[in-house]
Structure 1
Amino acid sequence: MGMGNVWPRPPQSTRTRHTGMKMLHLVLLLPFLGLLWPPFYDRIDPVLLGFPFFYWYQLAWVPATSLLIWLVWKRGTR
């Protein structure tokens, strides 16, 4: 005799929320993808405040990544 599904199905809104959160977590791949391929940013120009592009591009990802993590966290705590 099969018992079927013994776990109750979550309400539709909960399943939709989890799917939305999974999609939102994909935003956290942006820093990884942005820094994954060094030939993309391996150049000197444009220079910003005396820093070659190679350096300031990577340093710009530090606050950008922090902001993305904060946004995903804030959205997930609702």
Structure 2
Amino acid sequence: MNHKSTGKAALWLLLIPYIGLLWVPFYNFHEPVIFGFPFFYWYQLLWVPITAVLIWIAYRSVRDGE
């Protein structure tokens, strides 16, 4: 795979958090509770670092000059 197609493929990674958080009935539950946080909250908070890593991967794959 060449550089341009690799970059475009990495941009598809950005859909993962969108899909993971779009369908609220998937995570609209109280149990399991972790550190006092219901599943509804810690599931969404877990996506913050996951999304940051995916954005970093997509950025590194499409930036010019390297």
TM normalised by structure 1 equals: 0.73
Q: Once superposed, what is the RMSD of the aligned Cα atoms?
A: 1.5
Deviation at 1:26, TM superposition (A): 0.2
Equivalent position of 1:27 in the other structure = 13
Equivalent position of 1:4 in the other structure = none
Does 1 or 2 have the higher relative contact order (CA < 8 Å, sep 6+)? 2
Equivalent position of 2:48 in the other structure = 62
Measured against aligned partners, the alpha-carbon deviations of 1:28-57 in whole angstroms (never above 9, x if no partner) come to 110000001000000011111100000000
Once residues 71 and 49 of structure 1 are traced to their aligned partners in structure 2, the CA distance between those partners, rounded to angstroms, is 30
Q: Report the structure number with the largest CA radius of gyration.
A: 1
User: Which structure shows the higher helix fraction?
Assistant: 2
TM normalised by structure 2 equals: 0.85
Q: In structure 1, what residue type is equivalent to 2:33? A: V
Secondary structure of 2:18's counterpart equals: helix
Once residues 57 and 9 of structure 2 are traced to their aligned partners in structure 1, the CA distance between those partners, rounded to angstroms, is 13
